[in-house]
């Protein structure tokens, strides 16, 4: 274990812990724009700079490991001035569009600019706005709002394993793009949306049917994704009793990762064709029924068939979209009640 | 025989101490036999057959050799950490991605004496236990690339590369990797990323390359000139080398002398030689009887050194103390006709274009500084701009990720320190004292004018008026300051202010 | 010459060095042409060709024209140096193919140094 002092507080951490994590372990918050616990530290934004006694330059706390006896300061006039300056530099290149931006209120850049007193005035709006890249059916990319934190690139490479996007050009012209720059839809992107999830600004935004901002949200409902049996946790973002966006839950087993279906495949929830009650066939049509009525009917018919024709009249086919528990219960029913081994599962195909 | 016929008799060469450049211009670089004839590969033999890895490292440590790429890290200490690093595979890399504007000493060594680098890399590999080496050379050096490959092939044929070198069981191979023209790939970590096939972007330290370098294996990376010093050190002994140079910095350094100086070219001098000696005794001073104004060392990472510091002894620490740096060895001399604001702008523009774009201060900050400089050179500057430059420069130095960003403000900060009056002239008086910044120049016709009308004819924007045989007048609001009239005037009646 | 045989000891290396030295004829005159990037871009290739053609034409068997790197005086390229058996070394600078032929005629055939083309006249 390593002992160091951060803002006068004695901290003990394991060898290899960064100063940033050491500070967080004692509730000292250091702002960052490019850091994500799940990703290798990059040291790109430089916002997290801290003073270390004996070192003349500010050190990025996300990439500097804690060392025995270190004395670290995370707040000082010099640190504040440098953070404010860096934010001003980023802001200067950013469209001054917070009034109409859907990210407003949950934008990390906006929040930090507020914290450090960066003024919007004095900066001319960008003269030529780069057109929105909207070739992908699920998300848009606004190059001008990108602050090049690189989180999207790293999530794509390190966690999703896709490497569909990367930096192109250099210096001030550096941008996020993809091979041959023909449009995101023509890249190897699998539209998982994990880049959208980590974007600190509105550079990567999900395509939503509704306009809404963070303060319009009524509630977030934690649920389990129903598309497959993995059990990804997600938060359904609800406005006016309608799901308007899906956020990946960082504290679920999926650790904030989703696939294209979990992240973007939610419009069926409020689709007019969606079945919301059981239907019972009557003649050529269906009539709505209650769950009790429907389940009673099914139980009656199954018991009848079992009595009339025996076990071999039954077969069940389970789905990978159901959870392990659902599948277990189904085979239990088939084997234990219907007394047959006629049970199979789509994942076996 | 009164006249001197041989290059050896000239002050320019006589006053140099050539170690790294020893064979350049003397041997045929494409024939290994000539290298051997001039004691080539004896150092490798000595290293392997006599000294052993520890012995080699001790020798390099004792020589006091420091990295010639610019940072001046002690080479022996670097090698020892490579030797001590644990790993089943280790690498040696030669950084031949010379990129400073005006610096070409590495190219000269690669083109004139490629075997010296190959011998040195093999010695380094033997010392730390590496089996594979890469030379990262920029593709803009096609002759160097060609000669290196020839040299590698020849060394293989003679058994200086390959398996079982000098019958010792030690094996080593070298491959070339071509850089695609990014300045930042001279930075160790970006260079390694580039060899790995990734985008050349620096990654944070730690881990250091000595522990986790190429493909996360222990890697020792040295610059061409550093390597070129190794064979002579091993051959002649550390004591011989340590006797040359200054107390803290041993040996010699090659400089590329350029700009407003009579004898431009490459000079290799003992470290600790006074700057004045290099510029006036070796370089022959300033042409045309003009006055020396400053010398820029260290390229885009360095700074401008004014007359008052001409007697500084050239070494890593002294140059850093006065706001410049040794760098890879560019030395650009400026006279009274050079505008220091314009020079700062030139070097900063280079850094802006060559920034990899990863970290905020370097990507956005240098661009912002350049904007301010452009504002000043076009006559739009205000006094607070100078403070902004200083503040921004300091923050960029303080917060950048790699050496490129940390040093990019140096050309601006050093000129602001030593030539603040020139900045103020641009801002307050809206004049460029050296007559360089076009927007601030004014061409006027003096009473010497004979009214010939030639200026009127050559003016591309027709802003000169006047009758025949009468004094002509330039309309400053229409003038584009191209200087065509001044060149054409037969009686030198047009002056630039 | 080297026969592609690997050198295995210090003695073998020194023997090889000596053999290479002996292979140079005692009356050999070496002309080293600066053929680094600076030399080539200043026009060293045609100069070298002219030198080789002259030596060939005149049948000067003891004269060897070779390329070398940059001695550091790039501003005076193209340049070449004549090394004579007595140890004399003459540096001709700012060459053209025509000047080069003129130099060889004077220097090799008439043992006369054209002073105005030597480095001493330029420095």
Domain with residue B302: its CATH number is: 3.10.20.600
Nearest to A106 by CA among A39, A243, A21, A198: A198
Final residue belonging to a domain, choices B335, B358, B390: B335
Stretch among A188-192, A214-218, A221-225, B205-209 having the lowest mean pLDDT: B205-209
For residue B449, give the CATH number of its domain: 3.30.70.20
Whether B27 has its CB under 8 Å from any CB of chain C: the answer is yes
- Kindly state which CATH superfamily the domain A212-274 is placed in: ADC-like domains (2.20.25.90)
Among partner residues A86, A169, A171, which is closest to B360 by beta-carbon distance? A86
Residue range(s) of every CATH 3.10.20.740 domain in chain A: 2-75
The answer to whether residue B486 is domain-embedded is: yes
Whether B102 has its CB under 8 Å from any CB of chain C: the answer is no
**B256 and B168 housed in the same domain:** no
Contacts of C121 in chain B (CB under 8 A): 3
**B355 and B313 housed in the same domain:** no
Contacts of B268 in chain C (CB under 8 A): 72
Q: Which two tokens stand for residue A91?
A: 């802001």
Distance from CA of C107 to the nearest CA of B (A): 12
Nearest to A110 by CA among A23, A218, A241, A199: A199
What pLDDT was estimated at residue A349?
Answer: 62
| Cα–Cα distance measured from residue B420 to residue B426, given in angstroms and rounded to the nearest whole number | 10
What pLDDT was estimated at residue C2?
Answer: 44
Contacts of C71 in chain B (CB under 8 A): 7, 13, 24-26
The answer to whether residue C94 is domain-embedded is: yes
Q: Do chains A and C touch (3 or more CB pairs under 8 A)?
A: no
Whether C47 has its CB under 8 Å from any CB of chain B: the answer is no
What average pLDDT does the segment A297-318 reach? 95
Reply yes or no on whether the pLDDT at A98 is more than 80.
Answer: yes
* Model confidence band, residue A324 (pLDDT cutoffs 50, 70, 90): confident
Whether A92 has its CB under 8 Å from any CB of chain B: the answer is yes
Final residue belonging to a domain, choices B313, B335, B357: B335
For residue C83, give the CATH number of its domain: 3.40.30.10
How far are the Cα atoms of A23, A207, B360 from residue A202, in angstroms, in the given order? Answer: 28, 12, 18
Distance from CA of C101 to the nearest CA of B (A): 18
Output DSSP code: residue A270.
G
| Cα–Cα distance measured from residue A261 to residue A143, given in angstroms and rounded to the nearest whole number | 25
The answer to whether residue B403 is domain-embedded is: yes
Distance from CA of B84 to the nearest CA of A (A): 20
Burial of B467 by CB count in 10 Å (0-12 exposed, 13-18 middle, 19+ buried)? Answer: exposed
Distance from CA of B371 to the nearest CA of A (A): 12
For residue B417, give the CATH number of its domain: 1.20.1440.230
* Model confidence band, residue C4 (pLDDT cutoffs 50, 70, 90): low
**B300 and B353 housed in the same domain:** no
Which chains sit next to A, with 3 or more Cβ pairs under 8 A? Answer: B
Q: Chain B residue closest to C4 (CA)?
A: B157
**B175 and B215 housed in the same domain:** yes
The answer to whether residue C89 is domain-embedded is: yes
Whether B9 has its CB under 8 Å from any CB of chain C: the answer is yes
What pLDDT was estimated at residue B70?
Answer: 83
Residue A170 to residue B354, Cβ atoms within 8 A: yes
Give which of A15, A91, A171, A176 to mutate to test B binding, by max B Cβ within 10 Å: A171
How far are the Cα atoms of B218, B323, B335, B459, B469 from residue B487, in angstroms, in the given order? Answer: 61, 39, 21, 11, 19
Among partner residues A47, A58, A90, which is closest to B398 by beta-carbon distance? A58
The answer to whether residue C16 is domain-embedded is: no
Final residue belonging to a domain, choices B301, B335, B369: B335
Residue range(s) of every CATH 2.20.25.90 domain in chain A: 212-274
The answer to whether residue C19 is domain-embedded is: no
Residue A234, helix vs strand vs coil: strand
Distance from CA of B265 to the nearest CA of A (A): 31
What average pLDDT does the segment A225-244 reach? 92
Q: Chain B residue closest to C88 (CA)?
A: B6
Among partner residues A58, A81, A171, which is closest to B354 by beta-carbon distance? A171
Residue A85 to residue B391, Cβ atoms within 8 A: yes
What pLDDT was estimated at residue A346?
Answer: 87
The answer to whether residue B21 is domain-embedded is: yes
Cα B194 vs. chain centroid, distance in angstroms? 21
Q: What is the pLDDT of residues C26-80, one digit of tens each?
A: 789 999 999 999 999 999 999 999 999 999 999 999 999 999 999 999 999 999 9
Reply yes or no on whether the pLDDT at C1 is more than 50.
Answer: no
Cβ under 8 Å to C: B residues 124-143: 141, 143
Q: Are the CB atoms for B374 and B284 separated by under 8 Å?
A: no
Q: Are the CB atoms for A149 and A113 separated by under 8 Å?
A: no
What pLDDT was estimated at residue A230?
Answer: 85
Distance from CA of B368 to the nearest CA of A (A): 8
Among partner residues B204, B356, B392, which is closest to A170 by beta-carbon distance? B356
Radius of gyration of chain C (CA): 16
**B112 and B208 housed in the same domain:** yes
Domain hosting residue B270, numbered range: 252-335
Contacts of C1 in chain B (CB under 8 A): 33
**B49 and B124 housed in the same domain:** yes
What pLDDT was estimated at residue B1?
Answer: 46
What average pLDDT is seen over chain A?
94
For residue B215, give the CATH number of its domain: 3.40.50.11540
Residue A46 to residue B365, Cβ atoms within 8 A: no
The answer to whether residue B434 is domain-embedded is: no
Among partner residues C7, C67, C73, which is closest to B159 by beta-carbon distance? C7
How far are the Cα atoms of A58, B204, B236, C62 from residue A69, in angstroms, in the given order? Answer: 17, 22, 44, 74
A2-75 belongs to CATH 3.30.413.10: no
**B322 and B458 housed in the same domain:** no
Q: What is the pLDDT of residues A114-131, one digit of tens each?
A: 999 998 765 555 668 999
Among partner residues B182, B354, B359, which is closest to A46 by beta-carbon distance? B359
| Cα–Cα distance measured from residue A76 to residue B322, given in angstroms and rounded to the nearest whole number | 28
Q: Chain B residue closest to A49 (CA)?
A: B399
Nearest to B327 by CA among B414, B387, B262, B392: B414
Burial of B375 by CB count in 10 Å (0-12 exposed, 13-18 middle, 19+ buried)? Answer: middle
Residue B368 to residue A44, Cβ atoms within 8 A: no
Residue A47 to residue B401, Cβ atoms within 8 A: no
The answer to whether residue C9 is domain-embedded is: no
Question: How many structural domains are present in chain C?
Answer: 1
**B326 and B362 housed in the same domain:** no
Q: What are φ and ψ of residue A171, in 5° steps?
A: 60, -140
**B302 and B372 housed in the same domain:** no
The answer to whether residue B352 is domain-embedded is: yes
CB pairs under 8 A between A and B: 98
Residue B264 to residue C75, Cβ atoms within 8 A: yes
Reply yes or no on whether the pLDDT at C3 is more than 50.
Answer: no
Question: How many structural domains are present in chain B?
Answer: 4
Domain hosting residue C48, numbered range: 25-122
Whether C66 has its CB under 8 Å from any CB of chain B: the answer is yes
Q: Are the CB atoms for B202 and B184 separated by under 8 Å?
A: yes
Q: Chain B residue closest to C65 (CA)?
A: B28
Among partner residues B353, B359, B363, which is closest to A43 by beta-carbon distance? B359
Averaged pLDDT in 10-residue chunks for chain B of 497 residues: 77 92 95 96 97 97 94 95 96 95 94 98 98 96 97 96 95 96 92 95 92 96 97 97 94 96 95 96 94 94 94 94 90 95 96 96 96 95 96 96 95 96 96 91 92 94 93 92 93 90
Contacts of C37 in chain B (CB under 8 A): 104, 107, 111, 141, 143-144
Among partner residues B356, B358, B364, which is closest to A89 by beta-carbon distance? B364
Residue B112 to residue C17, Cβ atoms within 8 A: no
Cβ under 8 Å to B: C residues 4-23: 4-10, 13-14, 16-17, 20-21
What average pLDDT is seen over chain C?
92
Reply yes or no on whether the pLDDT at A161 is more than 90.
Answer: yes
What pLDDT was estimated at residue B2?
Answer: 53
């Amino acid at each position: 274990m390593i002992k160091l002092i951060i803002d006068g507080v004695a901290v003990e951490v394991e060898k290899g812990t960064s100063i940033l994590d050491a500070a967080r372990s004692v509730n000292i918050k250091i702002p960052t724009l490019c850091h994500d616990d799940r990703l290798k530290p990059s040291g790109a934004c430089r916002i997290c700079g801290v003073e270390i006694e004996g070192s003349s330059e500010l050190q990025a706390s996300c990439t500097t490991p804690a060392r025995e006896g270190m004395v670290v300061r995370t707040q000082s006039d010099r640190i504040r001035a440098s953070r404010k300056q860096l934010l001003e530099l980023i802001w200067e290149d950013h469209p001054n569009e917070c009034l109409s931006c859907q990210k407003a209120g949950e934008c990390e850049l906006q929040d930090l600019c507020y914290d450090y007193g960066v003024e919007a005035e004095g900066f001319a709006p960008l003269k030529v706005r780069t057109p929105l890249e909207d070739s992908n059916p699920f998300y848009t990319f606004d190059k001008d709002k990108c602050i090049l934190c690189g989180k999207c690139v790293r999530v794509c490479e390190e966690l999703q394993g896709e490497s569909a996007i990367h930096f192109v050009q250099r210096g001030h012209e550096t941008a996020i793009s993809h091979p041959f720059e023909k449009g995101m839809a023509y890249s190897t992107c699998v539209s998982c949306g994990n880049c959208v999830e980590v974007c600190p600004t509105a550079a990567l935004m999900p395509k939503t049917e509704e306009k809404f901002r963070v303060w319009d949200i009524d509630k977030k409902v934690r649920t389990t994704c129903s598309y497959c049996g993995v059990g990804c946790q997600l938060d359904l973002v609800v406005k006016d009793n309608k799901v308007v966006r899906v956020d990946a839950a960082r504290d679920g087993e999926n650790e904030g990762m989703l696939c294209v279906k979990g992240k973007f495949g939610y419009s069926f929830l409020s689709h007019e064709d969606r079945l919301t009650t059981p239907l019972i066939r009557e003649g050529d049509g269906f009539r709505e029924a209650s769950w009790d009525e429907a389940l009673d009917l099914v139980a009656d018919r199954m018991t009848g068939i079992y009595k009339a024709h025996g076990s071999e009249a039954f077969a069940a086919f389970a789905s990978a979209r159901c959870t392990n528990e659902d599948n277990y219960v189904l085979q239990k029913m088939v084997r234990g009640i219907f007394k047959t081994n006629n049970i199979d599962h789509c994942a076996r195909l | 025989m009164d006249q001197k016929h041989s290059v050896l008799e000239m002050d320019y060469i006589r006053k140099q101490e050539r170690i790294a450049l020893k064979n350049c211009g003397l041997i045929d670089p494409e024939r290994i036999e000539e290298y051997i004839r001039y004691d080539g590969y004896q150092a490798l033999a000595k290293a392997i057959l006599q000294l052993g890895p520890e012995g080699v490292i001790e020798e390099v440590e004792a020589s006091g050799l420091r990295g010639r790429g610019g940072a001046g890290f002690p080479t022996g200490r670097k090698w020892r950490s490579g030797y001590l690093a644990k790993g089943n595979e280790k690498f040696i890399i030669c950084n031949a991605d010379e990129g400073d504007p005006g610096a070409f000493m590495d190219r000269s060594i690669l083109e004139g004496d490629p075997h010296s680098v190959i011998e040195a890399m093999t010695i380094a590999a033997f010392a730390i236990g590496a089996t594979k080496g890469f030379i990262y050379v920029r593709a803009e050096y096609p002759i160097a690339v060609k000669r290196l490959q020839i040299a590698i092939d020849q060394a293989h044929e003679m058994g200086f590369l390959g398996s079982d070198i000098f019958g010792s069981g030690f094996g080593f191979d070298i491959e070339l990797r071509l850089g695609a023209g990014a300045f930042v790939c001279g930075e160790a970590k970006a260079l390694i990323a580039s060899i790995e096939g990734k985008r050349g972007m620096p990654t944070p330290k730690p881990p250091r390359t000595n522990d986790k370098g190429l493909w996360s294996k222990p890697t020792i990376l040295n610059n061409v000139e550093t390597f070129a010093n190794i064979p002579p050190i091993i051959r002649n002994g550390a004591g011989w080398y340590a006797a040359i140079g200054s107390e803290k910095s041993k040996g010699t350094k090659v400089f590329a002398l350029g700009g407003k100086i009579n004898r431009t070219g490459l000079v290799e001098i003992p470290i600790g030689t006074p700057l004045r000696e290099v510029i006036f005794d070796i370089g022959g001073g300033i042409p045309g009887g003009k006055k020396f104004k400053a010398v820029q060392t260290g390229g885009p990472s360095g700074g401008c050194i004014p007359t008052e510091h001409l007697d500084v002894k050239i070494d890593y620490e002294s140059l850093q103390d006065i706001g410049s740096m040794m760098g890879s060895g560019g030395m650009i001399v400026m006279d009274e006709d050079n505008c220091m604001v314009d020079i700062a702008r030139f070097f900063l523009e280079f850094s802006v274009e060559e920034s990899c774009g990863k970290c905020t201060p370097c990507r956005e900050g240098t661009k912002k500084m350049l904007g301010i400089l452009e504002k000043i050179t076009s006559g739009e500057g205000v006094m607070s701009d100078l403070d902004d430059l200083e503040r921004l420069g300091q923050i960029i130095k303080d917060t950048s990720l790699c050496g490129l960003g940390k040093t990019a403000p140096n050309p601006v900060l050093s000129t602001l320190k030593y030539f603040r009056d020139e900045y103020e002239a641009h801002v307050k008086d809206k004049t460029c004292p050296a007559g360089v910044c076009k927007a601030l120049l004014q061409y006027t016709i003096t009473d010497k004018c004979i009214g010939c009308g030639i200026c009127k004819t050559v003016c591309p924007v027709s802003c000169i008026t006047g009758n025949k045989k009468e004094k002509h007048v330039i309309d400053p609001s229409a003038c584009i300051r191209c200087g065509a009239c001044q060149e054409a005037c037969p009686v030198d009646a047009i002056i630039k202010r | 010459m080297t026969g592609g045989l690997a050198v295995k000891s210090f003695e073998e290396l020194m023997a090889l060095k000596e053999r290479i030295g002996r292979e140079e004829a005692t009356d050999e005159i070496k002309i080293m042409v600066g053929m680094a990037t600076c030399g080539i871009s200043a026009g060293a290739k045609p100069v070298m060709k002219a030198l080789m053609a002259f030596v060939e034409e005149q049948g000067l068997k003891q004269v060897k024209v070779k390329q070398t790197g940059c001695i550091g005086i790039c501003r005076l390229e193209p340049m070449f140096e004549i090394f004579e058996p007595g140890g004399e070394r003459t540096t001709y600078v700012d060459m053209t193919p025509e000047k080069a032929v003129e130099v060889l005629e004077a220097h090799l055939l008439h043992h006369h140094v054209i002073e105005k083309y030597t480095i001493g006249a330029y420095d």
